Structure 1
Amino acid sequence: MPDFLSPLTRAVTYTRCLHALLGSGVAWVCAAVYPGLSDPTRTDWLLVLVIPVPLLTTAALVVPALRRAEGLQARMMLFPGAHARGEGAEEHAVISVAPSASWRDRGRTALWLVLRLEIGCALVLATGQLIGMVFLLLGATDEPPGSDGLVLPVPSADVFAVPLSVVLVLAEFAVVVGAGHLMTAAARRFLGPSPAERLAVLEERTEQLLERNRIARELHDSIGHALTVAVVQAGAARAAADPGFTDRALEAIEETGREALEDLERVLRVLREDGQPASGRPTLADTERLLDSARASGAKVDVEVTGPVERVPGAVSREGYRMLQEALTNVLRHSGPVPVRLRIAVDDARLLMSVRNALPQAPAGATGRGGSGLRGIRERATLLGGRATTGPHDGEWQVHVELPLA
């Protein structure tokens, strides 16, 4: 089939035509009341196109929900979806289905209704002329000349009847396809999202991305820590070849795995949004759990805590716990069970945390910029208005974090 005939095989071509014809319905209802459709004059046809305009404009300005109704119709009938073939399936997203939120939205809806009315009426009149001429050429009507309502002159020579009828039928399809494309373009212009709606969509997408990043960090820190501890414990147990040590290593792996499963269940509950209350995320008050896990892996952790840790605000305390978890995980992953010095200090204005350990033989990210875990620590600190530095310092590897409490 030639390309110019391909629109005739698409369902959306005919739904667009139906949409335009429905838009003109109010004009024919008004015309039936005044001026009437019995032997109309040119002035009567002009009134048919003009009388409904104030009614539609008033409705669009008074009824905000009318914009939503028009948007739903446009999405269903003007844009291809599962019911259509040959075009994209996501174009309907450019049409808003929210009620009018401002006078600008109401004005755009009024312009849309008027344009839909005029295009629909023009399509009806053009179709009547073209199809009427085809019937007259083929002798399918017995209307006497002058009473058929046709505007264009019809040739009397029978030799031109069939080819001219074919041309008129193709012209009718061209009018239908063109009206559909015009309605679609107008819908994008007048029923598209307003600047406020576009901003709201961008804000929603930003919130979703931030939530996804937060969940990814949670999983990275929790599951990464558990797997690191399990790997270190298993390696140490195999190297020790001591049944007693192996039992303790397996017990530590079991405990760490159980805690990781609890964290995973909490994150999955958030993703499912099943309405069930999720258990609280760990805070700095649960730091001893981290230390027990690190010590069970063979690391010697020297801890010094000054200040009221329990008075640290919830958000800072939760993020601080995750930063410590990632720092200890990096120690076990890159340096093994080495001595670690952990310092936590809380005063009236800020929280200070420092994790120091001996440098490994081949430190990962020696510049302090490598690794998603270290980047995650810096990102968490920045989001809380603080700062974090990571890298070699005085012959040791250091993670230093400063967070404001306000």
Structure 2
Amino acid sequence: MSLRLPAPLRALVQASARTVTYTRWLHLMLAGLVAMVVMMVFPGLEDAPTWQWLRAMAVPVGLAAVFGLGVPVLRQAEGIQARLMLVPGQREPLGPAAAETGIAVTPSGSWPDRWRTALWLALRVALGLPLTVLSVWLLIPAWHLAFVLGGWYALLAPLPPLLLLVLVVSSGALTAALARRLLAPSAAERLAALEQRTERLLEHNRLARELHDSIGHALTTTVVQAGAARAAGSARFTERALTAIEETGRRALEDLERVLRLLREDDEARTAGKPPKLEDASRLLESARASGALVTAETGGGLDAVPAVISREGYRILQEALTNVLRHAGPVPVAVRVAATGEELRLAVRNPLPEPSPPTGTGSGLRGIRERAALLGGAAEAGPAGDEWRLEVRLPLGGYTRG
């Protein structure tokens, strides 16, 4: 029959085996030791009665509150300490983990933040100073019972350390709860963190779509070129096809590397890899020509003055459009027209209809083109017109920074 401890005692034993119990104890004792130094300097505690000790506690408590109110950076310092020493399992004190820990690591940005920090510091000192004193005083009777009185009194020696452990566990849990309450991010900080997370998710979604478009274009071009080379039976055509496949694969690898760097959220990599723009569209046209398509291109207006976001998305739309042509119609004549006129960018792609004709606008590629255009306030229309398949995209240029 196994011995089963009462629930409170079992919880106390489990708490004694947790590292966070002792880091919380250290967190409070650091505040207590600083407070004791202040009290020894003023008002001084030599041969002071107990009631004067209690009155003297008001000095470090008051000073802590004043510093918390007047020094905004203390909130950041206290938040880092609290994450490291009060919250179990936290390994990134400077990371965006306020949502998980409930503790902010930014300086006070408003007077309510300062008042909460001041109250936090006052309570930390008010809890830490008695615990520091009791951590010493409760060990003295334990030593006295065990080694001075001895005998049956030694059986009572574990009681003072047990009482100290209860105080440490309860004070630590209370301090952690107070930290989550008083050092919690403000409403403005929570909103900013939510906006940052949303922007990061949208950026990742955009990068995933770019990667899909780039790799899909490269694979489609490679398959078409390899099939055309095998059907041609010409050594010269095969050499041209292999060269085009190599260049297409190299550009796809460059896009893959750039996207992976960005997904790792490396700040330096964010400026190292520049996404392609409409000025780089010639490489898409050459890739399609190398696949056997007879591509004619017409450009108008100043594409170099098109806003960066429009130029980037226009490039991806053109890439998806050419990929669709090669995938569904093969190496056929393709007419491309890109022009920036007034306050609108127009992009049109025309090619002969394949046999049999594809369904009207049900593919994921066309859906992606429409989604890109809609997100930028524009529109995309695709479908058969006579014996041709036509894609027309209009993107407004207003409201974006040029360049």
Shorter chain as normaliser: what TM range? 0.7 to 0.9
Instruction: Say which of 44, 49, 53 aligns to 1:40.
Output: 49
Question: Within the alignment, does 1:207 sit opposite 2:216 as a pair?
Answer: no
Instruction: Say which of 159, 176, 180 aligns to 1:188.
Output: 180
- TM-aligned CA distance change 1:392 to 1:112, over 3 Å: farther
**Map of 1:6-405 to 2, 5 A cutoff?**
6-32=14-40, 33-34=42-43, 36-38=45-47, 40-41=49-50, 43-81=51-89, 93-124=101-132, 126-127=134-135, 130-135=138-143, 137-138=145-146, 140=148, 161=153, 164-261=156-253, 263-264=255-256, 274=268, 281-301=275-295, 303=297, 305=299, 309=303, 311-357=305-351, 358=353, 361=356, 363=358, 366=359, 368=361, 370-371=363-364, 373-390=365-382, 397-405=389-397
Contact 2:98 2:104 in 1 (8 A): no
Shift of 1:234: 0.4
Shift of 1:99: 1.9
Query: Aligned AA for 1:331?
Result: V
Spell out, residue by residue over 1:32-78, the C-alpha distance to the aligned partner (whole angstroms, 9 max, x if none). Answer: 3426252514x313303323232111111122222222222222322
Percentage identity across paired residues of the two chains: 53
Q: Name which of structure 1's ranges 122-131 and 168-177 shifts more when overlaid on structure 2.
A: 122-131
Q: Name which of structure 1's ranges 373-382 and 52-61 shifts more when overlaid on structure 2.
A: 373-382
CA distance in 2, matches of 1:110, 1:374: 58
Contact 1:269 1:278 in 2 (8 A): no
User: What's the secondary structure of 2:148's corresponding residue?
Assistant: coil
CA distance in 1, matches of 2:26, 2:276: 60
Q: Name which of structure 1's ranges 320-329 and 63-72 shifts more when overlaid on structure 2.
A: 63-72
- TM-aligned CA distance change 1:140 to 1:386, over 3 Å: farther
Q: Name which of structure 1's ranges 327-336 and 163-172 shifts more when overlaid on structure 2.
A: 163-172
- TM-aligned CA distance change 1:399 to 1:167, over 3 Å: farther
Spell out, residue by residue over 1:155-184, the C-alpha distance to the aligned partner (whole angstroms, 9 max, x if none). Answer: xxx96x455544444332121111111111
- TM-aligned CA distance change 1:336 to 1:49, over 3 Å: same
CA distance in 1, matches of 2:22, 2:271: 50
Aligned to 1:147: none
Q: Name which of structure 1's ranges 262-271 and 26-35 shifts more when overlaid on structure 2.
A: 262-271
CA distance in 1, matches of 2:129, 2:87: 21
**TM-score, reference length from structure 1:** 0.79
CA distance in 2, matches of 1:82, 1:370: 46
CA distance in 2, matches of 1:203, 1:94: 17
Shift of 1:126: 4.8
Spell out, residue by residue over 1:207-231, the C-alpha distance to the aligned partner (whole angstroms, 9 max, x if none). Answer: 3333333333333333322221111
Shift of 1:387: 2.1
CA distance in 2, matches of 1:284, 1:224: 19
Q: Name which of structure 1's ranges 391-400 and 377-386 shifts more when overlaid on structure 2.
A: 391-400
Q: Which runs of 5+ in 2 are unaligned?
A: 92-96, 399-403
Q: Name which of structure 1's ranges 342-351 and 255-264 shifts more when overlaid on structure 2.
A: 255-264
Shift of 1:304: 5.1
Query: Aligned AA for 1:355?
Result: V
Query: Aligned AA for 1:368?
Result: G
Contact 1:79 1:91 in 2 (8 A): no
Query: Aligned AA for 2:379?
Result: R
CA distance in 1, matches of 2:209, 2:314: 13
Contact 2:218 2:248 in 1 (8 A): yes
Which structure would you say has the larger Rg? 1
- TM-aligned CA distance change 1:212 to 1:23, over 3 Å: same
**TM-score, reference length from structure 2:** 0.79
CA distance in 1, matches of 2:252, 2:147: 84
User: What's the secondary structure of 1:51's corresponding residue?
Assistant: helix
Aligned to 2:401: none
Q: Which runs of 5+ in 1 are unaligned?
A: 84-88, 143-157
Contact 2:72 2:109 in 1 (8 A): yes
